[in-house]
Amino acid sequence: MLRMIVRRLLLGAVSIGMVSLIIFGGVELLPGDACTAYLEREAQGKLLENCRAQLGLDRPAWERYWGWMSNAARGDFGTTITGRERIGKLVGDRLLNTLLLTGCAMLAGIPLALLLGVVCALWRDRAVDLLFSSLAIFAMTIPEFISATLLILVFSVWLGWIPGIILTPADAPLIEFFPEILLPIAALAMVMTAHILRTVRSSVIETLASDYAQMAILKGVPYWRMVFRHILPNALLPTINVVALTIAWLLGGVVVIETVFNFPGLGRMMIDSISDRDLPVTQTLALIIALVYVGVNLLADVLTMLANPRLRTHKTRSA
């Protein structure tokens, strides 16, 4: 099994290499570069040449790629397009804020989803199931900006409990984001919970119908003992991957939600950097997001391998 994990890790590394190439190559292929974007209409002649020389854009592409990657590996992402601020510092604060937002959403959403999913499956087609399953479909299908706007409309405008817009600056201590952060957390957690709930539900139902579950019922194993000993361990294993996929989705969904709530995180920074054509920042953000995505999926696969007894080879068992 160790070999499988090592193989998976290597594949992950290859993926990250590919992503960095795509990000770099994509920006390379697009018309214009950081200098034409920055100088806009004045981008010609001496001014353009100077700018390119200053940013090192006159060097060959592979050299710049190598420089970018080796600096990024050391945590140095260069400066923003105006050259005034270090990207590392800018991104650091916002990364922390986004991690707070997504972390809280996961802490709230994943246990809730597991619980509700199991409940829905065990009481299949009863009122509880119908209620939460339909709510889940609703939360899954409507766009995030609609559910987020609805939350603001209900909790900020009509009930007046929490402000709907976050005015805390990006570099404020994390605790200052409470309680305004609760609404974006709820908006994120809603969609996430819905996705995981649906998977858990269908996975538990499938396991209940399996031969060994039927066998356990026929043998007269007490119901709850069967649920906890036989059903849940088998049913929850495949959900690890869905949780990983959902976390990866969070990174994209967070862009819209951060914009709706004016939350100073990576997502809004990405929108801003793209509007400002700040290519170094966009590249950095894309790399970070891709790293998280690949990392989370890697973790999920390794966890699944570790948790699945069928993948434990003979050698590991005897060791």
Partner 1 sequence: MNTAATPARAPARPGGAFAALVAVLADIARTPSGAAGLILLSLHLLVAISAPLWVPYDYREVNSLLILSAPGAEHWFGTDHLGRDTLTRTLLGGREALLVTGVATPVAVMWGGFTGIFFGLTGGRLDDLFMRFVDALLSLPWILKMLVLIVTFGTGLEVFIPTLAFFYGIPIIRVARAATHDVVARDFVQAARARGHGRMTIIGRELLPNVRDALLVEGAMRWSWMLLAFSSLSFLGFGVSPPTPDWGLMIANARGYMSFAPWGVLAPMIALSSLIIGINLTADALAKTLGVDRAQKAPV
Binding site for partner 1 (CB under 8 A): 11, 14-15, 18-19, 21-23, 26-27, 30-32, 137-138, 140-146, 149-150, 152-153, 157, 195, 198-199, 202, 242, 245-246, 248-249, 251-252, 255-256, 259, 270-271, 274-275, 277, 282, 285-286, 289-290, 293-294, 297
In the complex with partner 1, the residue whose CB is nearer, 191 or 216, is 191
Q: Is 86 helix (H, G, I), strand (E, B) or coil?
A: strand
Specify the DSSP class assigned to residue 221.
Answer: -
Q: Is 234 helix (H, G, I), strand (E, B) or coil?
A: helix
Task: Please state the closest distance from residue 129 (CB atom) to partner 1, in A.
Answer: 14
Specify the DSSP class assigned to residue 310.
Answer: G
Task: Please state the closest distance from residue 125 (CB atom) to partner 1, in A.
Answer: 14
Burial class of 80 by CB neighbour count within 10 A (0 to 12, 13 to 18, 19+): buried
Task: Please state the closest distance from residue 21 (CB atom) to partner 1, in A.
Answer: 8
Closest CA to 260 of 165, 161, 140: 165
In the complex with partner 1, the residue whose CB is nearer, 140 or 299, is 140
Closest CA to 55 of 27, 19, 74, 95: 27
Burial class of 121 by CB neighbour count within 10 A (0 to 12, 13 to 18, 19+): buried
In the complex with partner 1, the residue whose CB is nearer, 107 or 146, is 146
In the complex with partner 1, the residue whose CB is nearer, 208 or 251, is 251
Distance separating alpha carbons of residues 102 and 235, to the nearest angstrom? 25
In the complex with partner 1, the residue whose CB is nearer, 100 or 254, is 254
Task: Please state the closest distance from residue 223 (CB atom) to partner 1, in A.
Answer: 27
189, two tokens: 């957690």
DSSP string, 19-85: HHHHHHHHHHHSSS-HHHHHHGGG-SHHHHHHHHHHHTTTS-HHHHHHHHHHHHHTT---B-TTSSS
Task: Please state the closest distance from residue 302 (CB atom) to partner 1, in A.
Answer: 16
In the complex with partner 1, the residue whose CB is nearer, 30 or 172, is 30
Task: Please state the closest distance from residue 312 (CB atom) to partner 1, in A.
Answer: 26
In the complex with partner 1, the residue whose CB is nearer, 92 or 295, is 295
SS3 for 181-220, per residue? Answer: CHHHHHHHHHHHHHHHHHHHHHHHHHHHCCHHHHHHHHHC
Task: Please state the closest distance from residue 61 (CB atom) to partner 1, in A.
Answer: 18
Q: Is the dihedral of CA 170, 172, 175, 180 positive or negative?
A: negative
In the complex with partner 1, the residue whose CB is nearer, 245 or 299, is 245
Q: Is 262 helix (H, G, I), strand (E, B) or coil?
A: coil
Contact of 302 with 101, CB cutoff 8 Å: no
Task: Please state the closest distance from residue 32 (CB atom) to partner 1, in A.
Answer: 7
